[in-house]
Structure 1
Amino acid sequence: MKRAGILMIIGSAMLLGLFVFPMWNIRLGAPQYPEPLGIDIHVDGLRGENEFDIQNIDGLNHYIGMKVLPKPDEMWEFSAFPKVVGIMAGLGIVFGILGFMKKIPPVLFLLWFVLMGILGGLGIYDFNLWLVDYGTDLDPNAILKLVNPDGTPMKYNPPLLGHKKLLNFDAYSYPRTGGILLGFGMLLTLVAYYMGRKSQLATK
């Protein structure tokens, strides 16, 4: 159970990487931009990969009527997500310490994993809703009004994951260091549960 507790501590602590590294990245590449424009999505806000990326993306989006990229105080998620991550990391570390001391059963490790999975799933769902709204709720007075071959308005939302063609831009959306640490951390907490469960059964 001690090794399980240590893994639980390490896995939970890896969530704190979200306060240091971006959790996701959206990158836009086109022939006129030899160096792609990128947005790093942090737990507390958006930042450009390079100094003027946010400014350049907003400038391009203006022509097709897309909204300006939100500031941290313009989305409740950027104030709520850091609190959720901090609470869950702290709770997981406490569970790990108590598990190391054999004060709690390993099933609590599993409950933490399930709760974190639900919260993470809700976060991804909310992020996708924002992407769709960002790319479809366009200013009707925009300079450019492009439509699909069937006459319907063209959608410009980047993909949640993977690649998508947006006019002459190639949009790529993938997890970054913070998101990868989150995934590995959750995996370690699941392994901690199985190790703790195995240890518990061995002592009976």
Structure 2
Amino acid sequence: MKKASIVMIIGPLFLLGLYIFPLWNIMLGAPQYPDPLGLNIHINGLRGVSEFDIQNIDGLNHYIGMHTLPKVEDMWEFGTFPMVIGIMVAIGILIGVLGYFNTLSYKWFLGWFLLMSILGVLGMYDFNQWLVDYGTNLDPNAIMKLTNPDGTPMTYKPPLLGHVKMLNFDVTSLPASGAWFMFIGMMLTLAAAFFGWKSTKKP
């Protein structure tokens, strides 16, 4: 159980990478932009991949009626997510320490993993809802009002995951390094639960 507990202590520490590295990345490429425009989504705000990417994206969005990219104070998520991650890291480490001293069973390791998985799914759902609003809630007085072949207004929702063609832009949305840190940390906690379970099966 001590080996499993040490792995459990290490796993949540990987989530601290979310405070340094972006969670998600969206890239926009087009012939007029030899260097694609990029947006990094951090748990505490949005940042351009290059210095002027956010200004350039907002400038393009203005013509088709999309809102400007939100600042930290515009979204409650940017204040809440860092606190949630910090709490989950602290809880995970505490569970690992208590497991090391045989105060808790390996089932608590699995419980932490399941709770973090639920929070991750909820976070992705919230992120997708923001993308829907961002790409469909357009200014009716926009300079360019484009429609689909059936006459309905064109929407510009970026993909949650993967690639889509919007006008002459190739838009790609993928997990960034922070998401991979979180994935590794969660896999370590799942491994900790497995090691803990195996230790209980020894004669």
Query: More deviation in 128-137 or 2-11?
Result: 2-11
- Residue 46 of structure 1 aligns to a residue whose secondary structure is strand
Distance 1:48 1:112 in 2: 33
Q: State the match for 1:5 in structure 2.
A: 5
Question: Does residue 132 in structure 1 map to residue 132 in structure 2?
Answer: yes
State the 1:201 CA deviation.
Answer: 2.3
Q: State the match for 2:52 in structure 1.
A: 52
Distance 2:2 2:110 in 1: 16
Distance 2:158 2:142 in 1: 19
User: What's the CA shift string for 1:75-129, capped at 9, x where partnerless?
Assistant: 0000000000000011001111111222210000011011101111000000000
Distance 1:158 1:190 in 2: 32
Q: Which amino acid aligns with 1:106?
A: Y
Distance 1:100 1:51 in 2: 46
User: What's the CA shift string for 1:113-158, capped at 9, x where partnerless?
Assistant: 1110111100000000000110000000000000110111111011
Q: State the match for 2:92 in structure 1.
A: 92
Distance 2:201 2:103 in 1: 16
- Residue 95 of structure 1 aligns to a residue whose secondary structure is helix
Unaligned runs of 5+ in 1: none
Distance 1:52 1:14 in 2: 30
Distance 2:71 2:55 in 1: 12
Question: Does residue 79 in structure 1 map to residue 79 in structure 2?
Answer: yes
User: What's the CA shift string for 1:32-74, capped at 9, x where partnerless?
Assistant: 0000000000010000000000000000000000000000111
Matches within 5 A, 1:124-203: 124-202=124-202
Question: Number of aligned pairs?
Answer: 203
Distance 2:6 2:172 in 1: 36
- Residue 38 of structure 1 aligns to a residue whose secondary structure is strand
Query: More deviation in 95-104 or 33-42?
Result: 95-104
Q: Which amino acid aligns with 2:5?
A: G
Unaligned runs of 5+ in 2: none
Distance 1:132 1:61 in 2: 15
Distance 2:121 2:43 in 1: 15
Q: Which runs of 4+ in 1 moved over 6 A?
A: none
**Equivalent pairs: percent with the same residue?**
63
- Residue 156 of structure 1 aligns to a residue whose secondary structure is coil
Distance 2:101 2:176 in 1: 34
Q: State the match for 1:105 in structure 2.
A: 105
Q: State the match for 2:22 in structure 1.
A: 22
Question: Does residue 123 in structure 1 map to residue 123 in structure 2?
Answer: yes
User: TM-score, structure 1 length as denominator?
Assistant: 0.98
Measured on the aligned residues, the alpha-carbon RMSD in Å equals: 0.7
Q: State the match for 1:42 in structure 2.
A: 42
Q: Which amino acid aligns with 1:186?
A: M
- Residue 26 of structure 1 aligns to a residue whose secondary structure is strand
